[in-house]
Structures are given as C-alpha cells and as structure tokens.
C-alpha cells in the first residue's frame, strides 16, 4: 500500500488533501465533519479582528453548467470572509485541536495593512492551538475599500512586508495565498518568500461575471437587482491554476506549494502534485459533493501510485515540470526527430475550410496517438 502521508512545514498530513478556506471550514461543526471523513487538513474560513465589519449578502453564488449534461463546470461566489467574532474562533480552534489532535488545522487570516493587526491576529490564533497560517492576499471581491484581499496581494512590496510582520510573530508554517488576478503570479510569490512565508497557496478564485439572466436582463448572482464581479472556481479554472502553479514552481525553486483550483477527483490532485505541489486544497467541490468525496480521492491517488510503482508522494512530486520548454525548442525537437507525428499538420497552409474539425482533432494531444516514452514514467520520476 503506498504511503500518501505528507510532511511539510512542520506539519504532518495523513494525506495531501486539505479543505480550502471558505464555507466548508466555516465553523467547528463542519471542520469536525471534514476530519471525521478523512481529510488530511482543514484551512478555516478567513478570520479577522473586526467581524462586525463583514456583511454578507444572499444569494451569493452562481453556477455555470455544461450545455450538454447540466454538470456544474464553473462556480462564482461573492462571499466575504467569516462574520463570526475572533473570540468564538479562538474557542473553537481549541476545541477542534482537543478533539482532533492529529488533524492539521490552519488559520486563514486577513487584515488591513497595519502591523499591529496582523501580529495580534497571528498571536491569538497561535495561542488557540492552530498548526499553521494561510495569509489571505487574494479574495478578489471582498473589502477592497479596506485595502484587503487581492487589493493587497497585487502589490508585491506589501505582500513582502506583511509576511515579515507575521513571520516575526510566529515560528509556525506561514503560507501566502496568491491572487490569480495579476500578470505574473510568481512575482508576489517570490516577495512572500523573501518576507518570511514558508509556503505558497495558489490559486484563489478568478474575478469573473458568470453570466446575464436573459429574462431579467441582469447579471447573476443578483442582489436587489444588482451584482458585482466575483470569484470563479470549479473545474473550469483548473488549467489556469495548473499553469500558475507551474510558474511558481519554476520561478521559485524549492518553494513549498499548496495547489488550489478545480480539484474534484484524486486524479485532478495528482496533476497538481506532478506540478510540484506538496498538498492540494479543495473548496468548491466539497460544497457541491460533500465531505465524503475525499474517500474517492484517496482511492484514486493510491491507484495511480500503485499503477506507476510509486511508494511515496515525493517519488513523483514535480515530475512534470521538466517537460515544459519554449516553443522554439519544440520546433527544434520536431526537426531533430525528422518527421512529424503521422497525420499531424505543422503548417498553416495545410488547413482547408471543409475539414477544420478534423485538423483540430489531429493536433490535439489527448485525442491523437502519442509516441511512447523512451522509459516508463514511473522509472523516470523515481530518478528525478
């Protein structure tokens, strides 16, 4: 049986699957449910010192569904951080750790850009027994008037400064949660690490408008007839999240990464681990499928590892990174190979107007037959 445990940043996870900060970690009861079902860790919903300033609205979610099947492929939220007082969270953090001492409990914290605020919040959560911290620099729609969330995370200098404040207040794990609503995500990630963060969480949700109700002629979700752009998640964002995680792993070598974005199955999580992630977070899928989904994820991970002969997560973590290169290098590699793959067009003048779908299919990697690798993937990964 493969060993799927993960040791990172002084924390021991029974498996790499972590509930991401949001509604699935909104209080002691649901956090306990997550641990009961077998999640390796839980990141609680983001807390602050002044919960009375947090005012949520309803409805605050919108779904994008497949035209063919009705399956939810995209999910937008305009939810804010926790509206529960920090005093209640301190009490519940203690109770959770008393009941689940082996479950990794991480406090997600967010505050205004004042040193005393971040330090006090860190110290109070640490005194309540949490195992680590995630700094929310990335909520895309909430509290910008207080310069919080992504308004802070889009400024690398501020990210570095705040990480320094938190690091001076704790020796526990500190993960900086990155916003994808930025040109180069590795820039603030590098700033966070310079400031004292020990790890990076990526990505948070993507600023979006899910759609417009064609009967009411108003954007959704609609609150009293109005809306705002919100955070987009679910399986539709996974390719973007994988690309950004790859960039962080490439540009910040050695960084400890917790991957987030569209993870719904164990094989989705495996892709993030292959990109260099140590742990993988799930939020939206848990809201749609329930906490019990982790059992299937564990099963798929173990099946993948057994298939390839991997004994530990480290045997394959980051293995896919070596296969990213430049387009120029791709051209050179095909040239050296002396012949294109059978049936694939490489020049624009080979396309014709009658068969565009056929040409598209032939040029799609996961539809066309691919060349066999020179050695099994499992052997290459173990030798990385």
Count up the domains in the chain and report the number: 2
> How crowded is residue 75: how many other Cβ atoms within 10 Å of its Cβ?
26
Q: What is the pLDDT of residue 354?
A: 67
Q: What is the pTM of this model?
A: 0.91
Domain boundary among 302, 318, 334: 318
* Per-residue pLDDT reduced to its tens digit, 158-176: 999 999 999 999 999 999 9
- Say if residues 105 and 129 touch (Cβ distance below 8 Å): yes
Residues 269 and 353 in one domain: no
Among the options 113, 125, 139, 252, which is catalytic? 139
Averaged pLDDT of the chain: 92
Residues 172 and 237 in one domain: yes
Determine whether 317 is exposed, middle or buried from the number of CB atoms within 10 Å of its CB (0-12, 13-18, 19+): buried
* Per-residue pLDDT reduced to its tens digit, 357-376: 887 887 787 875 444 444 55
Mean pLDDT value across residues 189-202: 98
Residues 225 and 243 in one domain: yes
Mean pLDDT value across residues 71-90: 96
Residues 134 and 200 in one domain: yes
Q: What is the pLDDT of residue 380?
A: 54
* Per-residue pLDDT reduced to its tens digit, 114-127: 999 999 999 999 99
Q: Which residues of 229-255 are buried (b: 16+ CB within 10 A; e: fewer)?
A: bbbbbbbbbbeebbebbbbbbeebeeb
Mean pLDDT value across residues 57-78: 96
Residues 28 and 90 in one domain: yes
Residues 331 and 310 in one domain: no
Mean pLDDT value across residues 57-83: 96
Task: Tell me the CA distances in angstroms from 269 to 145, 299, 316, 340, one per residue in order.
Answer: 35, 12, 12, 32
Residues 15 and 107 in one domain: yes
Residues 62 and 152 in one domain: yes
Residues 375 and 249 in one domain: no
Residues 309 and 337 in one domain: no
Strands (E) in the chain, as ranges, are 6-8, 11-13, 17-19, 41-43, 61-65, 72-77, 104-109, 132-136, 173-177, 199-202, 206-208, 211-213, 218-220, 230-233, 256-260, 279-282
Strands 256-260 and 279-282, by their bridges, are parallel
What phi-psi label fits residue 129: left (phi over 0), alpha (psi between -120 and 50 degrees) or beta?
left
Domain that holds residue 259: 6-318
User: What CATH number does residue 209 fall under?
Assistant: 3.20.20.70
Q: What is the pLDDT of residue 382?
A: 59
Q: What is the pLDDT of residue 373?
A: 46
Which residues does 215 contact at the CB level (< 8 Å), separation at least 6?
none
Q: Respond yes or no: is residue 252 known to be catalytic.
A: no
Angle, alpha carbons 157-80-286 (nearest 5°): 105
Which residues does 36 contact at the CB level (< 8 Å), separation at least 6?
291
Residues 338 and 212 in one domain: no
Q: What DSSP string runs through 121-163?
A: HHHHHHHTT-SEEEEE---SSS-GGGT-THHHHT-HHHHHHHH
């Amino acid at each position: 049986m493969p060993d799927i445990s993960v040791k990172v940043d002084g924390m021991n996870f029974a498996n790499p699957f972590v509930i991401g900060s949001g509604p699935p970690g909104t209080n002691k009861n649901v956090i306990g449910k997550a641990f009961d079902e077998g999640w390796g860790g839980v990141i609680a919903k983001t807390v602050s010192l002044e919960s009375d300033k947090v005012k949520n609205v309803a409805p605050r979610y919108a779904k994008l569904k497949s035209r063919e099947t009705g399956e939810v492929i995209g999910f937008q939220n305009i939810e804010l951080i926790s509206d529960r007082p920090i005093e209640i969270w301190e009490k519940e953090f203690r109770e959770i750790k008393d009941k689940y001492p082996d479950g990794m409990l991480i406090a997600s914290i967010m505050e205004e850009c004042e040193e005393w605020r971040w330090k006090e919040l860190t110290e109070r959560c640490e005194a309540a027994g949490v195992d680590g911290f995630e700094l929310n620099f990335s909520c895309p729609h909430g509290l910008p008037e207080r310069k919080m969330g992504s308004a802070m995370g889009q400024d690398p200098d501020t990210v570095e400064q705040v990480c320094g404040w938190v690091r001076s207040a704790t020796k526990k794990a500190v993960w900086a949660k990155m916003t994808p609503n930025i040109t180069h995500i590795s820039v603030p990630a590098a700033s966070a690490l310079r400031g004292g963060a020990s790890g990076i969480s990526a990505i948070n949700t993507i600023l979006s408008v899910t759609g417009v109700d064609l009967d009411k002629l108003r954007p959704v979700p609609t609150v009293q007839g109005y809306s705002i752009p919100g955070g987009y998640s679910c399986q539709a964002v996974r390719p973007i999240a994988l690309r950004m995680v790859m960039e962080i792993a490439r540009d910040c070598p050695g960084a400890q990464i917790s991957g987030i974005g569209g993870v719904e199955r164990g094989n989705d999580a495996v892709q993030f681990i292959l990109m260099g992630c140590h742990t993988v977070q799930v939020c939206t899928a848990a809201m749609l499928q329930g906490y019990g989904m982790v059992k299937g994820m564990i099963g798929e991970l173990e099946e993948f590892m057994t298939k390839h002969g991997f004994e530990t997560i480290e045997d394959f973590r980051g293995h896919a990174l070596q296969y990213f290169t430049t387009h120029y290098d791709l051209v050179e590699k095909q040239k050296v190979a002396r012949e294109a793959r059978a049936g694939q067009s490489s020049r624009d003048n080979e396309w014709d107007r009658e068969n565009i779908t056929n040409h598209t299919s032939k040029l799609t990697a996961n539809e066309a037959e691919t060349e066999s690798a020179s050695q099994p993937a499992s052997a290459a990964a173990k030798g990385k």
